[in-house]
C-alpha cells in the first residue's frame, strides 16, 4: 500500500509592527491587519490564498494585543483556525517551534507551511505549484525554503545561493546577508541566487529535531511553555514564564543556516513583503503619470507619487516621487526614495510618549470599536459602536463620569443596581465611581455618543469587575 503524504498545515506568522508603513500601520493595528490591497486585510488575503490547496485548518500566531483583531478577521471570512498567542516576541524560530509542538501534541506530523501574514503573492497558481514541489522534498526530511526569483538587484533582502540539483529544487549552498549594490548585481546576473522571503515547508518533527540539535535551549523553553499551555476562549496560551526564558532567534540563524538538510525551490509568483510605502506602490494600479491614487484625491502636474486619502480631500500640485498618506490623526509626506526612514519618525513619537505610533483614532475592541472624535480640558467625546450581542465589561472609573446618547439601536445599561434599556435619541448618565456596563441586545449595531468629563480621561482608568472576553 502506498504511503500517504503528510497533511499540509499552514502556520501564519502574524506578529510584527510594520513601522515603515506608518501612519497606517501602528503598534495596536499593524499592517497584517489592514486592508492595504482591496477590501480584505493582509491576513485575510494570506488565508484566502490557501483556497484550492489541500491543507488542514491553519495555526495563526500573534500576540496578546492583537488576539481579538485576528479572531474577528477570521470570523468575518468564516475561516477555522487555531490562534496561538505568543506571550512575548522571541522572533520566528520559537514561534514556529510552538506551532510544531502544538501539531505534534495532536498525534500528527504535518508539513508545516510557514507563511508571513503581511506578504503579497500575486500569482496564486504559481504559489501552489511551488508548494507541491517543496512537498516532494519535505516528505524526504528536507527543510525547504522558498527562494523568491529576483527581478532586480535588491539590497534590502537576504539571499539564498543554490547548490546541486535535488529533484524539483536544489540543495542550499549558503544563506547570504543583505548585500551592497555591486554584489546584489552580481547575484542577479549569476542566476544562482534567490531572495530569502521567509517562507518554508518542512515536517513538524524534522524542525523539532533540527532545533534540538542547533538551538536546544529554544526547544526546551518552548516545550515547557506548551506543556503548561491553557485554552482560553478561541486562543491557545503557552505558559508565559516558561516562554519568557526562551532565547530570541530567527529560523534562519537558529536552524536553516546550520542544518545539513536545507533545500530551496524557486518561487516566481509576484512576491512582495510590503516593507515600506515604495514597495506597496509597486503592486498598486498606476495612472498615466505613474501615480498611485487612493481615496478622495485631486492631482495637478503630479508624477511618480503615491497619495492615499483615508478621511478627507487631499490635493497635490507639482510634486514628483513623493508619498502622501492621510489618516484621521496624522499625515505623512515623504520622498519616495527615503520611505525606509519613516521608522525614525515612529521612534521620535515613541520617545515623546505620543499615542500616534500606538493606535489610530479608531480603536478596535472585542465588542466593537470607538472613535475619539474630540477632546479638550477635562472632557472627551467618543463615538462607540457595539456589535449585536456584544457587551462591554462590568467596570467603574475613579476619575470620570460618562454621558451616553444613543444614536441608533438599543442599549441595555447596567447603572449601579439598575438595569434598563436606552433607545434612539435617549440618554443616560454614569456618575464617577458607579459600577456600570453596556450591552447591545439587538440584531443591528448599537451606535452612541459618549461624553466623558473629569480630571483624568485615560484608558487605564478602567477597573474591570467582570469581562466575557477574559481581559484583566
Domain with CATH 2.60.120.10 in the chain: 362-466
Q: For 124-158, b where at least 16 C-beta lie within 10 A, e where not — what string?
A: bebbbbbbebbbbbbbeebbbbbbbebeebbeebe
CA angle at 117 for the pair 113 and 122, rounded to the nearest 5°? 85
**Residue 64 pLDDT:** 87
pTM, whole model, 2 decimals? 0.90
Residue 6 pLDDT = 81
Instruction: Quote the pLDDT of residue 268.
Output: 97
The side-by-side arrangement of strands in the sheet containing 436-439 is: 418-422, 411-415, 436-439, 394-396, 463-466
Decide if 203 contacts 139 (C-beta within 8 A): yes
Instruction: State residue 103 phi and psi, 5-degree precision.
Output: -70, -40
Cell of 391: 457587551
What is the reported pLDDT for 4? Answer: 59
Question: What's the sign of the alpha-carbon dihedral 273, 278, 284, 285?
Answer: negative
The residues, any chain, with a CB within 8 Å of residue 137's CB and separated by 6 or more, are 144, 166, 167, 168, 169, 263, 265
- Contact criterion met (CB below 8 Å) for 5 and 11: no
| Beta strand pairing call for 230-232 and 159-166 | unpaired
Four-way CATH pick for 362-466: 2.60.120.10, 3.30.70.580, 3.40.190.10, 2.60.40.10: 2.60.120.10
> What's residue 107's pLDDT?
86
Report the C-alpha gap between 445 and 408 in whole angstroms. Answer: 8
Mean pLDDT of the chain: 94
Q: Where in the chain is the domain with CATH 3.90.550.10?
A: 8-272
Query: What pLDDT, on a 0 to 100 scale, did the predictor assign at position 128?
Result: 97
Q: What CATH code would you report for 8-272?
A: 3.90.550.10
Q: How far apart are the C-alpha atoms of 23 and 331, rounded to whole Å?
A: 7
Whole-number pLDDT of residue 3: 47
Residues of the chain with pLDDT under 50: 1-3
- List alpha helices for 228-368, DSSP H: 240-244, 251, 277-281, 342-351
Nearest CA to 364 out of 8, 92, 26 is that of 26
What pLDDT digit, counting tens, does each position of 216-268 carry?
999 999 999 999 999 887 799 999 999 999 999 999 999 999 999 999 999 99
Cα–Cα distance, 281 to 48 (Å, whole number): 22
Which of 45, 24, 178, 60 lies closest to 118 in space, CA to CA? 45
Distance CA(100)–CA(11), nearest Å, equals 9
Amino acid at each position: 500500500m502506498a504511503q500517504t503524504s503528510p497533511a499540509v498545515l499552514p502556520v501564519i506568522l502574524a506578529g510584527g509592527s510594520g513601522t515603515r508603513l506608518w501612519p497606517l500601520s501602528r503598534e495596536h493595528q499593524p499592517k497584517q491587519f489592514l486592508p492595504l490591497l482591496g477590501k480584505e486585510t493582509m491576513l485575510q488575503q494570506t488565508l484566502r490564498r490557501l483556497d484550492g490547496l489541500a491543507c488542514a485548518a491553519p495555526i495563526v500566531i500573534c500576540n496578546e494585543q492583537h488576539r481579538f483583531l485576528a479572531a474577528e478577521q477570521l470570523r468575518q471570512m468564516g475561516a477555522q483556525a487555531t490562534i496561538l498567542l505568543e506571550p512575548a516576541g522571541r522572533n520566528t524560530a520559537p514561534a514556529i517551534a510552538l506551532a510544531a509542538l502544538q501539531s505534534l501534541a495532536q498525534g500528527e506530523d504535518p508539513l508545516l507551511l510557514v507563511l508571513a501574514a503581511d506578504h503579497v503573492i500575486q500569482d496564486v497558481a504559481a504559489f501552489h505549484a511551488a508548494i507541491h514541489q517543496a512537498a516532494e522534498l519535505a516528505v524526504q526530511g528536507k527543510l525547504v525554503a522558498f527562494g523568491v526569483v529576483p527581478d532586480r538587484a535588491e539590497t534590502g533582502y537576504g539571499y539564498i545561493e543554490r547548490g546541486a540539483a535535488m529533484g524539483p529544487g536544489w540543495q542550499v549552498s549558503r544563506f547570504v546577508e543583505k548585500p551592497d549594490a555591486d554584489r546584489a548585481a552580481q547575484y542577479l546576473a549569476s542566476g544562482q541566487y534567490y531572495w530569502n522571503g521567509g517562507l518554508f515547508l518542512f515536517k513538524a518533527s524534522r524542525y523539532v529535531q533540527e532545533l534540538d540539535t542547533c538551538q536546544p535551549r529554544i526547544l526546551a523553553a518552548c516545550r515547557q511553555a506548551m506543556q503548561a499551555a491553557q485554552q482560553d476562549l478561541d486562543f491557545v496560551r503557552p505558559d508565559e514564564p516558561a516562554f519568557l526564558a526562551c532565547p530570541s532567534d530567527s529560523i534562519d540563524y537558529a536552524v536553516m543556516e546550520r542544518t545539513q538538510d536545507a533545500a530551496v525551490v524557486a518561487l516566481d509568483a509576484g512576491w512582495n513583503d510590503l516593507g515600506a510605502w515604495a514597495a506597496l506602490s509597486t503592486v498598486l494600479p498606476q495612472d498615466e503619470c505613474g501615480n498611485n491614487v487612493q481615496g478622495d484625491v485631486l492631482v495637478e502636474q503630479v508624477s511618480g507619487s503615491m497619495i492615499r486619502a483615508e478621511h478627507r480631500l487631499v490635493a497635490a500640485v507639482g510634486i514628483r516621487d513623493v508619498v502622501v498618506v492621510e489618516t484621521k490623526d496624522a499625515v505623512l509626506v515623504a520622498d519616495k526614495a527615503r520611505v525606509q526612514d519613516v521608522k525614525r519618525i515612529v521612534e521620535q513619537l515613541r520617545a515623546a510618549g505620543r499615542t500616534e505610533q500606538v493606535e489610530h483614532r479608531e480603536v478596535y475592541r472585542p465588542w466593537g470599536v470607538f472613535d475619539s472624535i474630540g477632546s479638550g480640558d477635562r472632557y472627551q467625546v467618543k463615538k462607540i459602536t457595539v456589535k449585536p450581542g456584544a457587551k462591554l465589561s462590568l467596570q467603574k472609573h475613579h476619575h470620570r463620569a460618562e454621558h451616553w446618547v444613543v444614536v441608533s439601536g438599543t442599549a441595555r445599561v447596567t447603572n449601579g443596581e439598575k438595569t434598563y434599556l436606552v433607545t434612539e435619541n435617549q440618554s443616560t448618565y454614569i456618575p464617577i465611581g458607579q459600577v456600570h456596563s453596556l450591552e447591545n441586545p439587538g440584531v443591528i449595531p448599537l451606535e452612541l455618543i459618549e461624553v466623558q468629563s473629569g480630571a483624568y480621561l485615560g484608558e487605564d482608568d478602567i477597573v474591570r469587575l467582570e469581562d466575557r472576553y477574559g481581559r484583566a
